[in-house]
Structure 1
C-alpha cells in the first residue's frame, strides 16, 4: 500500500462542509460504540451487525443520510476496529490496560472507500460527490495521482490538521523485489 498526500485548497463553505462530514463520521462511530455497549449483554455484536446498524442510522437521521454510504460504513468499521482490538487484548492477556473503546470527541478525518469521490482525469482535483456540499477540491502536491488507475485507489481520506486540510489516497501497488 502506498499513501499519497496532498494539501487541499478550497473555499470557506467547502471547509465548513468538510467539518460537517467529519462530525457526522464521529457521530456514527460513537453511536456504533453505544450500540455495542448496550447490546453486548443481550446478543453477540460483530462487524456485520454494526454495518447493519449504520444503515439504520442513515434511515433515522437526515444528516447521516447526506454522507456517502461508503463513508458511513467506514466509520462503523473504525468502531469495530476499536472493539476487536479490545477483544484481542483481552484474549491474549495483555498486561495493564486492555484499551476499552472510548467515545471520540476529537475526530479529524472522514474516509471514503471506492465511491463518493471522483478524480479529474487531467488536473489535480477531486470531487466529493455526497450531499454534504463539499464539491471540487484542488490538490496541492508534487505527486501525480493520474499515473495510478482509479481502481487501484482503495481509500480516500480527508484530514484536518493544525495547518489546514489534507487529502490522502491509499493506493494498492505491488512491491518490487530488489
Structure 2
C-alpha cells in the first residue's frame, strides 16, 4: 500500500464477544462477560481528495484537512460507552457531535439522521438520553475529547458514523463526518 493511504485510512479493530473470564450473572447460563470493542481513527480529507478517507470535512475552516479523529465503542450486556478524541480543530470552538445512522458520503446528508435508541419523529426525543451526543469544546491547541454512556446499545446495521455539527445540542450544519463500523451490543 502507498504510505499516504495507510495514514488516512481507517484503523479499525473489532473484538466481538470476547470473554473476560468473569461471570455476568445476567444470563441464565453464566456465560461470562461478553463484550465488543470498536476503535477507528482517520485524518479528515475533503470528499473529492486524491487520497480518500473515511473522515470527510465539509468545512475546512472548522475541521481542517489533516485534522485527526478517533472513536472508540465499548459494549457489554450492561451498556455502551462511545468516546471521541480529536486533534487539529478550531481552538475554543464548540462542536456538536452525534452518532448517525448511515456512513458518510460526499453529500453531508448521506449520513442520514441521528441514531436513536427509541426511533421517533417527535422533536422532544432528540436528546442525549435517546441519542449518543459527544459535544465538546476544542482546547487552545485544537484538541478535544468527550464520551457518552448508555445502558443500551446499537441495533445491528443502524449506527454507522459520527457527524460534527456547527452547534452543540440537537443539530445544526454538518461540518464533517467519520464512518465508524459500530457493533451491536452483545445479547443479554
Q: TM-score range by the shorter chain?
A: under 0.3
Say which structure is richer in helix.
Answer: 1
- TM-score under structure 1 normalisation? 0.26
- Give the TM-score taking structure 2 as reference length: 0.25
Higher RCO structure, 1 or 2 (CA under 8 Å, sep 6+) = 1
Q: Which has the higher strand share?
A: 2
